[in-house]
Structure 1
Amino acid sequence: MRSASLRISEIFHSLQGETSRIGLPTVFVRLTGCPLRCTWCDSAYAFHGGETMTIADILEKVAGYDARHVCVTGGEPLAQKPVHQLLRDLCDAGYSVSLETSGALPVNEVDARVSRIVDLKAPGSGETEKNLWSNLDMLGANDEIKFVLAGREDYEWARTVIRDRNLEQVAPILFSPVWDSLPPARLADWVLEDKLPVRMQVQLHKILWGEKPGV
């Protein structure tokens, strides 16, 4: 049987820069294409181009890095349906797998062994209307809810969403400031002042290597 194919922007080995897995050596599989156009997007280069690869070839390349953790990201990885086979095959191969998704597409078909990182879009992204709120009903303790925040308006919006939807009881919550837009210390002060039940994070890979592909 012929292996399904995916359009791949890049596959690389780096340290995980975000989520509860921050700092862990990880192989990143970045898929090409995304239906959203967030104002602060740092991976717009993945909107187009890339290389068509079979899932078998992707698995072979991932295995060459000899790492335990794999992160499937984009773009928006769920925009390519064969990604579900890739996620299953990665789990079957024994990897600890995470998926970074915009939250605009359904996550219910994602293999239960995968940690789903769902990014809820705040007003500053320009894509708030794309949030698929029903995704929250699918999440559990193995998943994470991420807010990328560009300023005070985004922060107050996220704070309201957390409280109104009782997100603390849904999954761990991540707050991340937009690079070069919201000073991390300022966001940290707001979190502490309001005693929010969130994990404050910065993008470790950008601190180490700057804002560029392949890190």
Structure 2
Amino acid sequence: MNAVATPSKIEQSAADRLKITEIFLSLQGEADAAGWPTVFVRLTGCPLRCQYCDTAYAFHGGTWWEIDDILAEVARHGVRHVCVTGGEPLSQKRCIGLLKRLCDAGHDVSLETSGAIDVSQVDPRVSRVVDIKTPASAEQHRNRWENLPLLAARDQVKFVLCGRQDYEWAREVVREHALDRRCAVLFSPSKDELSPRDLADWIVEDRLPVRFQMQLHKLLWNDEPGR
């Protein structure tokens, strides 16, 4: 009888690891769960370089964590909501397994993703918050438009807008793809680039079926890491 090859313990361990920049407890600052105490699991690495990125410290470095240890650290904080973010969390393929394990553990899980990577394999229990990149982001060409038909009522689409041209571009994307009929659509001003009041006025004037949002964590803690 031929022996059946089995993975070594080292190989099994590597298959259950993710590179993590930080895990911390704070208030969710945006999207439908804004205001809820939330554990953030920030994965390391991102293939995009948006000009307004506020988490460039997550591009490199990080520490390897076993998925079991990640779940234990999340559970230690004692809250229901968990946000897996980055960087671009889906740039690590094992993120898919982490999302499933978090859902299995009973957490209310959201995923913040750039929309540049296929979201079809994400557990349907996860709220996928897909960030569509505008022209002023400098990464518009990375948008994976095939993701949009996959989105459902539990998901959300986010546009970070840097000015009037971005606004008009995003307005047409919402209309062309009927995004408001598929899921919640969020318009957010890029800090120090677009006046929140101007964006609010444009949305009201056009009666857009989108939700204006400002990021609570920037108002409260001014983008301090780990907050």
TM-score range (shorter-chain normalised) is over 0.9
Match of 1:156 among 162, 168, 174: 168
1:87 paired residue among 95, 99, 105? 99
Determine if the alignment matches structure 1 residue 118 to structure 2 residue 148. Answer: no
**Which of 195, 201, 207 is 2:219 aligned to?**
207
Partner of 2:88: 76
Partner of 1:107: 119
1:182 matched to 2:224: no
CA distance in 2: counterparts of 1:187 and 1:173, whole angstroms: 14
Superimposed CA distance per residue, residues 107-145 of structure 1 (whole angstroms, 9 cap, x where no aligned partner): 000000000000000001000010000000110000000
1:166 positional shift: 1.1
1:73-104 per-position Cα deviation (integer Å, ceiling 9, x unaligned):
00000000111110000000000000000000
**Displacement of 1:181 after TM fit?**
1.2
Q: Which residue of the other structure, out of 16, 19, 25, is the alignment partner of 2:31?
A: 19
Q: Secondary structure at the match of 1:173?
A: strand
For residue 138 of structure 1, what is the amino acid of its counterpart? L
- Unpaired stretches in structure 2, ≥5 consecutive residues: 1-8
Distance 1:177 1:36 in 2: 19
CA RMSD of aligned residues (A): 0.8
Q: How many residues align?
A: 215
Shift of residue 167, structure 1, vs aligned partner: 1.0
Please give the alpha-carbon distance, in whole angstroms, between the structure 1 residues aligned to 2:119 and 2:31: 18
1:191 to 177, 195, 203: 203
Once the two structures are superposed, the pairs formed by residues 23-38 of structure 1 within 5 Å of their partners are: 23-38=35-50
Q: Structure 2 CA distance, aligned partners of 1:212 and 1:15?
A: 13
Find the aligned partners of 1:167 and 1:139 in 2 and give their Cα distance. 9
Give unpaired runs (5+ residues) of structure 1.
none
2:69 is matched with 57
Distance 1:110 1:212 in 2: 29
Match for residue 5 of structure 2? none
In the alignment, is residue 128 of structure 1 matched against residue 137 of structure 2?
A: no
The letter of the residue matching 1:183 is S
Q: Secondary structure at the match of 1:64?
A: helix
Cα shift at 1:212:
2.0
Percent identity between the aligned chains? 60
Superposition deviation, residue 173 in structure 1: 0.1
Q: TM-score when scaled to structure 1?
A: 0.98
Whole-Å Cα distance in 2 between the matches of residues 53 and 137 of structure 1?
A: 33
Q: Normalised by the size of structure 2, how large is the TM-score?
A: 0.93
**Among 164, 176, 184, which residue is 1:172 paired with?**
184
Letter in 1 for 2:144: L
Deviations 1:17-44 (A, max 9, x none): 0001100000000000000000000000
Structure-2 separation of matches of 1:209 and 1:36:
25
Runs of 4+ in 1 over 3 A off after TM superposition: none
Which AA in structure 1 matches 2:85? Answer: T
**Alpha-carbon shift at residue 170 of structure 1 (Å):** 1.6
